[in-house]
A and B are shown apart, each in its own frame.
Chain A
Amino acid sequence: MYKYNDFDEAFVRERVAQFRGQVERRIDGSLTEDEFKPLRLMNGLYLQLHAYMLRVAVPYGTLNPAQMRQLAYIADRWDKGYGHFTTRQNVQYNWPKLDDVPDMLEALADVEMHALQTSGNTIRNVTADHFAGASADEIEDPRPVAELLRQWSTDHPEFQFLPRKFKIAVSGAKHDRAVTKAHDIGVRMVHNDAGEAGYEIIVGGGLGRTPMVGKVLRAFLPREELLAYCEAVVSVYNLLGRRDNKYKARIKITVHENGLEKMQELVEARFEEIRKGFTGFDQEMLKRIETAFASPAYVSKSSGNFEAARLANPAFRSWADTNIAAHKAPGYAIVSISIKKHGQTPGDATSHQMRVMADLAEKYGHHELRISHEQNVILPHVHQGDLPAVYAALREADLATANIGLVSDIIACPGMDYCALATARSIPIAQDIATRFDELKIEHEIGELKIKISGCINACGHHHVGHIGILGLDRAGVENYQITLGGDGTETTTIGTRAGPGFSADDIVPAIERLVTGYLDLRENADETFLQAYRRLGMEPFKAILYPSEDKANAA
């Protein structure tokens, strides 16, 4: 993992000290809320419905055990004993007191963490594939590049007042687990025809009010040109992006309004202007960063007890079949720890659970943890022989739910239970859907299915790219839930299509049940996933299931 150097350490400490002074001046009345708000947002501090919320950056979702333990300590000391993992691989505390926040930031700095640029019109936390450095389908570990981008974008003097927020995701694998096509810039590692490694640069993707799939701005960018090219993209956006209307300010609208060709022309021109300024120092830095992400010292030992436990314990087998992914190293596995126990809040882990996961990473996981954008926690490097022990410890801590990628592994934003922007609640809907399918005992039969729920049009819950998306709205003072179908957040990114009129809070869970059990009747065989069935059949049969009375009325 990347270790802070003296510069990083001094910079983060200085920012904590600055914010401490700003909080003091707000409390003694020398700053008004209007003056203070942009300052607190620069430090990740929001004011929500019931309390402040502190959003802590987890760069590219990577944590070490000491950091995870510190998150647990902060949860106990200054919050209500839990943290919420988000769809941007961050962690949020829902109950901090304003006068405690500087101490919380100081505690984060103690373990090389911060909350900088987790809000505001800046380049936000750079996200990456949560299986980075471990997955079998990887070209290269995306995290060194993500770290380089993090260092470049942190406090970048030109990019502190962009037209709107700016999100970058990096993927190093064939399968896109980082939703790169729904980011302002998506960086995908590719090889060109000559077999050289480089990047495909995708621009102008985004969800929210006007969802757009990102477009390829440059099909192949040589590795050493990444920083200069990204700087050219953001620089063009900084001037061209609209500042007159915040709903039209994201780069997706800039690309849409100006066209991809014009963006390409402007970016290439700007790139030519500035590339000479990049004299190779960034590449020296990248080399240093890369050494920090060297593969762990894998061990070779017997996987015998894994097979034995699989045969002996059906619960372990079910968990292993669902929550384990293929690792690039022989004998190793990637463990996804579900933070989605049926009926619990998606993404919420207690301080005890955080400590258990930290201990497991230390004992069995080469000291590494990841937060996924799907709000789960990953142990990326676990030897198969250790899986039974890992499972047993997770079970003790209520963390052994075998539902990764299944109907109850739901992404949900905090919604109107916390968020001041929300138009409806998301969490209770996710809880009820998961509980219902657990009662039905059919989620393994259903197979892969991604349900994603947002409590407002800003789409933090990624509903547009859910196989089933749910969007909570306020319709004449009542919570109402719209369903979209056919969304996909992988390398074949697709924005889902609205199925029809929304459902009330009481009707949405039965509607989802009808839809999913209806799919079981529609699919060709048990291998055809919900998304595949939807792609084969189109909207109509699913619509007929969702709105049966309408169907009858038409037939009559």
Chain B
Amino acid sequence: MPRAFTPKVITANALIAGDAVWFTADNRWSPKISEAEFISDEAHADLRLLEAQARQDEIAGAYLADAKDGPNGPEATHFREEFRTRGPSNYAHGKQVEL
């Protein structure tokens, strides 16, 4: 039996800066996961991923990442995706200081 679909967000790296970005419902790339489109339907996820991947001149490597709905918008569920929302743990670099 195929695994049940879990909610997703679409994420990628920005083409020039290379930082993590998330695809919003109004077709922008946001540096904040909380602004991402929260996708709970599998067919819609596949469609949106195609649309995201087509934006080759803005991003690289778009993929679907597991997410949950939080009080301020989507949140990461896996620690890897959580690290992408803030930056490395050894320096105050990346989103933890830039946003």
Q: Which of B22-30, B37-45, B67-75, B82-90 forms part of the interface with chain A?
A: B82-90
Q: Is the CB of A98 within 8 A of B84?
A: no
CB nearest neighbor in A for B94: A50
Q: Does residue B60 face the partner (Cβ distance < 8 Å to A)? A: yes
CB nearest neighbor in B for A23: B16
Bound-complex Cα distance A513 to B73 (A): 41
Nearest Cβ on chain A to B21's Cβ, whole angstroms: 11
Q: Is the CB of B89 within 8 A of A33?
A: no
Q: Does residue A479 face the partner (Cβ distance < 8 Å to B)? A: yes
Q: Is the CB of A477 within 8 A of B18?
A: no
Which residue of the partner chain, among B57, B60, B90, contacts A417 with CB atoms under 8 Å? B90
Interface residues of A in 32-64 (CB under 8 A from B): 32-33, 47-52
* Per-position binary interface string of chain A over residues 300-326, scored 1 when its CB falls under 8 Å from any chain B CB and 0 otherwise: 000000000000000000000000000
Q: Is the CB of B61 within 8 A of A33?
A: yes
Nearest Cβ on chain B to A508's Cβ, whole angstroms: 15
Q: Is the CB of B56 within 8 A of A417?
A: no
Bound-complex Cα distance A97 to B89 (A): 21
Q: Does residue A416 face the partner (Cβ distance < 8 Å to B)? A: yes
Nearest Cβ on chain A to B95's Cβ, whole angstroms: 8
> Chain B residues with Cβ under 8 A from A345's Cβ?
90-91
Bound-complex Cα distance A345 to B92 (A): 13
Bound-complex Cα distance A401 to B56 (A): 47
Q: Which of A123-131, A375-383, A425-433, A442-450 forms part of the interface with chain B?
A: A425-433
> Chain B residues with Cβ under 8 A from A477's Cβ?
77-79
Nearest Cβ on chain A to B60's Cβ, whole angstroms: 4
CB nearest neighbor in A for B16: A98
Interface residues of A in 445-469 (CB under 8 A from B): none
Q: Is the CB of B18 within 8 A of A51?
A: yes
Q: Is the CB of B19 within 8 A of A47?
A: no
Q: Could you tell me how many residues of chain A have their Cβ less than 8 Å away from some Cβ of chain B?
A: 32
Bound-complex Cα distance A217 to B91 (A): 45
Bound-complex Cα distance A94 to B57 (A): 22
- Assess A418 versus B17: contact at CB under 8 Å? Given A33-B61, A479-B79: no
Q: Does residue A396 face the partner (Cβ distance < 8 Å to B)? A: no
Q: Is the CB of B56 within 8 A of A33?
A: yes
Q: Does residue B13 face the partner (Cβ distance < 8 Å to A)? A: yes
Bound-complex Cα distance A47 to B62 (A): 12
Q: Does residue A28 face the partner (Cβ distance < 8 Å to B)? A: yes
Bound-complex Cα distance A52 to B83 (A): 16
Nearest Cβ on chain A to B54's Cβ, whole angstroms: 10
Bound-complex Cα distance A425 to B80 (A): 9
Q: Is the CB of B87 within 8 A of A50?
A: yes
> Chain B residues with Cβ under 8 A from A80's Cβ?
91, 93
- Assess A417 versus B79: contact at CB under 8 Å? Given A97-B16, A97-B18, A98-B15: no
Q: Is the CB of A29 within 8 A of B18?
A: no
Q: Does residue A491 face the partner (Cβ distance < 8 Å to B)? A: no
Q: Is the CB of B83 within 8 A of A49?
A: yes
* Per-position binary interface string of chain B over residues 33-66, scored 1 when its CB falls under 8 Å from any chain A CB and 0 otherwise: 0000000000000000000000011001100000
> Chain A residues with Cβ under 8 A from B84's Cβ?
49-50
CB nearest neighbor in A for B54: A32
Q: Is the CB of B79 within 8 A of A52?
A: no
Q: Is the CB of A427 within 8 A of B90?
A: yes
Q: Is the CB of A50 within 8 A of B19?
A: yes
> Chain A residues with Cβ under 8 A from B10's Cβ?
none
Q: Is the CB of A27 within 8 A of B88?
A: no
Which residue of the partner chain, among B18, B78, B95, contacts A48 with CB atoms under 8 Å? B18
Nearest Cβ on chain B to A529's Cβ, whole angstroms: 29
Q: Does residue A478 face the partner (Cβ distance < 8 Å to B)? A: yes
Q: Does residue A364 face the partner (Cβ distance < 8 Å to B)? A: no
CB nearest neighbor in A for B93: A80
* Residue from A28, A98, A348 having most chain B Cβ neighbours under 10 A: A98
Q: Is the CB of A27 within 8 A of B15?
A: yes
- Assess A98 versus B18: contact at CB under 8 Å? Given A33-B56, A47-B61, A50-B94: yes
Bound-complex Cα distance A80 to B87 (A): 14
CB nearest neighbor in A for B20: A50
- Please provide the 6 A-B residue pairs with the shortest distance between their CB atoms, ordered closest to farther: A417-B88, A29-B57, A51-B18, A52-B18, A33-B60, A345-B90
Ordered by A's residue number, 30 sampled pairs between the chains whose C-beta atoms are within 8 Å are A27-B15, A27-B16, A32-B56, A33-B56, A47-B18, A49-B20, A49-B80, A50-B19, A50-B94, A50-B95, A51-B13, A51-B18, A51-B19, A51-B94, A52-B18, A97-B16, A98-B15, A98-B16, A98-B18, A348-B90, A416-B79, A416-B83, A417-B89, A417-B90, A418-B88, A428-B90, A431-B90, A477-B78, A477-B79, A478-B79
Given contacts A49-B83, A52-B18, A98-B15, 13 further A-B contacts (CB under 8 A): A27-B57, A47-B61, A49-B80, A50-B18, A50-B19, A50-B84, A50-B93, A96-B18, A97-B17, A417-B83, A427-B88, A427-B89, A478-B79
